[in-house]
Structure 1
């Protein structure tokens, strides 16, 4: 589109996976008069450095359903848009190393089955057959979901963006929103560096920028950026391309195959907050300095599970900030403080898994109330 749009039914702010997914789903629902604005380039916030694991199981039943929807969407997206997604349905394993965790996993299996999701409870030896590199002497059991998988975060986002455009949405990069215009507490439109767009509804999917930007219209979004690191190894003997993703909650770590090596990340109990005084200006497509000292605690936990890591070459320790929320769940829906102002943010480092379902839910909320 060569001319800048002057009006829209809804404006989406933020071109990460959640913004692009929302644009895709709104356009598919016939809302072709939707404009997505990204201040820099699509995926350049948090999306580009995500690890890309797509697991469906959460303790919250509604979120499990949304993640299941993501998988259904990612299965067909590449064929629909012609844009590669890197999606691979290689299954997912979740380990239980004590009786309390095993009870939780069994409950999750009941939840999964109630949604028609295939989730199998495995013995330690059955789990080891699927993931031969791990030690299983402390395992009580494991859960396996054959429909879990992994994706390339940037590719899957660009595929959603292409699908949105094909369905009639407008997506503009390098277009920074400077202000949301209100009149007597009612949204009138958004002002950008390139001009004004009149609209009734604004959907803020700004990742870790969401809190600061929402504050300008009196909306409180409780999220905080934290440093999140994962390690990428060189090739490791025995790692195959069809290995399932692996989650080891009792050791706080997760793993996925990548080009014959492993990605290993995790959630340390003493995380490091980032940008406490505000996100630096011009921060996009940017990683933070690797913090090997802080990551060492996760490496020690991981070595107890995957001894092969001890001799593996390290390609990279990726450190990128992610938005986290007080309750570990994402923030989605209409803001109580401002009518027709919607938020999709705070994805606690599982935005790729949630992206498809969250965009669908947000689009339905916007379109149908």
Structure 2
């Protein structure tokens, strides 16, 4: 005999759409800050969309100080959730090793260590031999050096979501599974509630935490949420001698790969240079609970070959499971947070670009602050949804851009990097004249703009590097001429 579905209230102060780790974190933090008239709706079961198959890496150091503080808070929260809720987040602070195969990557790691020092984050430059001491099953003959981040760790995504959800429920938040939002109610430029397959619900505030469905949900009320899913691959191996619970997370960005221990074996995954976008955001299948996509060993080959070079024992280790789970990515590799400019009291937390588990605690707190106090306590302008325009929601544009963005996770983060895909998109009437003048173009809000001009006969393409930029003499000459 099937149990009757729990009754839905006709009204809630806040309705959260999506029961993944982000939605659960927002609900938890709203309740923690005293707002308990909160209803979280999940179309399937908690964590059933993209959360459950996340790798669960929690690396603290980010490109900005505020991004780093956000993840630092996540690690503090995950460490105390079990004591508070009785449910473990599966968080283990095992440390992280990142290796460099090239001189350019080593320069980046030295910069990373300097950044960590500025943020008061433990980070140590180590030799290849010291790296192998921390990760004995790794080959180090081809690496130039590494860094050690003792505060890094890993969490279990499903357990983490359940712990956050319990913490929210214990404070009075209502969570209803198997309720699908079918529309957003609005009046006079503000949100007033949601339509569901089980009736309408009034709300003062609606929060879109629908993961890869967030673009669809935004479209219900004219809000642009620019994200597109890409296939994301990893495998879980059979048991390996030397793979123990406290083995650090290993990242080999020059080989596009990461490794973490799992039940005596390894999770081997990565971010290949050219990704494989999935279906358009408005064509996502329903239902899609705890589901994976088809295996694609040909596409995974570049990651597996690189992984075997780093961990030679993988060549003779069996594979238990191949995971191909779609995850959503944004046009600029930064997630999306904040109040939608098109609709008052409609907030978005989505597009986490494979760092959702690390970011969930801090992002949930920030969005709760944004809702209650009007702004977050950290400057999060880099992830504010207002940085995007309507054209950023163009599905073909997003499809082309996502194929590049996923690969940038482990690319060298060159100064002045310009994204190459989905361009040119907007061109001024003077574009052809600037091109004839040998301009190197950058893209700003979709517009092609001249960054600098190369002399006649010279290749204008930017040559990325850590030192003086290739275009500097040409820019100097231009400034002298103008002066």
5 Å-filtered alignment, 1:99-114, equals 99-114=103-118
Whether 1:19 and 2:23 are equivalent positions in the alignment is: yes
Quote the residue 1:180 is aligned against.
184
Cα deviation digits, residues 275-331 of structure 1 (max 9, x gap):
126101211211111111110111111111111110011101101000011111111
Residue 113 of structure 1, CA deviation: 2.6
Residue 3 of structure 1, CA deviation: 4.0
After superposing the two structures, state which structure 1 stretch, 144-153 or 18-27, moved more. 144-153
Quote the residue 1:358 is aligned against.
363
Quote the residue 2:286 is aligned against.
281
Quote the residue 2:240 is aligned against.
236
Quote the residue 1:143 is aligned against.
147
Contact 2:181 2:194 in 1 (8 A): yes
Match of 1:212 among 193, 212, 216: 216
Distance 1:114 1:5 in 2: 49
5 Å-filtered alignment, 1:253-272, equals 253-272=257-276
Quote the residue 1:251 is aligned against.
255
After superposing the two structures, state which structure 1 stretch, 107-116 or 60-69, moved more. 107-116
Distance 1:305 1:298 in 2: 11
Distance 2:304 2:20 in 1: 30
Match of 1:54 among 55, 58, 64: 58
Quote the residue 2:373 is aligned against.
368
Cα deviation digits, residues 49-94 of structure 1 (max 9, x gap):
1111111122233222211111111110111100122111111111
Helix, strand or coil: the match of 2:52?
A: helix
Quote the residue 2:329 is aligned against.
324
Quote the residue 2:136 is aligned against.
132
- Aligned-pair Cα RMSD in Å: 1.4
Residue 29 of structure 1, CA deviation: 0.1
Helix, strand or coil: the match of 1:262?
A: strand
Quote the residue 2:320 is aligned against.
315
5 Å-filtered alignment, 1:149-228, equals 149-228=153-232
Contact 1:10 1:35 in 2 (8 A): yes
Distance 1:170 1:220 in 2: 28
Residue 222 of structure 1, CA deviation: 1.2
Cα deviation digits, residues 20-69 of structure 1 (max 9, x gap):
00000000000011111111100000011111111112223322221111
- CA gap of 1:30–1:240, structure 2 versus 1, over 3 A, is same
Contact 1:58 1:108 in 2 (8 A): no
Contact 2:25 2:361 in 1 (8 A): yes
Choose 1 or 2 for highest CA Rg. Answer: 2
Whether 1:40 and 2:44 are equivalent positions in the alignment is: yes
Distance 1:246 1:80 in 2: 30
Which ranges in structure 2 are unaligned for 5 or more consecutive residues?
375-483
Distance 1:339 1:107 in 2: 41
TM-score, normalised by the number of residues in structure 1: 0.97
Residue 204 of structure 1, CA deviation: 0.3
Match of 1:335 among 323, 336, 340: 340
Quote the residue 1:90 is aligned against.
94
Quote the residue 1:118 is aligned against.
122
Residue 170 of structure 1, CA deviation: 1.2
Helix, strand or coil: the match of 1:8?
A: strand
Distance 1:272 1:175 in 2: 31
Distance 1:81 1:205 in 2: 23
Distance 1:91 1:336 in 2: 40
Residue 211 of structure 1, CA deviation: 0.8
Match of 1:78 among 79, 82, 92: 82
Distance 1:11 1:141 in 2: 49
Cα deviation digits, residues 138-177 of structure 1 (max 9, x gap):
2222111111111111001000000011122111111111
Distance 2:96 2:333 in 1: 21
After superposing the two structures, state which structure 1 stretch, 38-47 or 167-176, moved more. 167-176
Helix, strand or coil: the match of 1:49?
A: coil
Match of 1:7 among 11, 16, 19: 11
Residue 99 of structure 1, CA deviation: 2.4
Helix, strand or coil: the match of 2:260?
A: strand
Match of 1:297 among 285, 296, 302: 302
Higher relative contact order (CA 8 A, sep 6+): 1
- CA gap of 1:46–1:243, structure 2 versus 1, over 3 A, is same
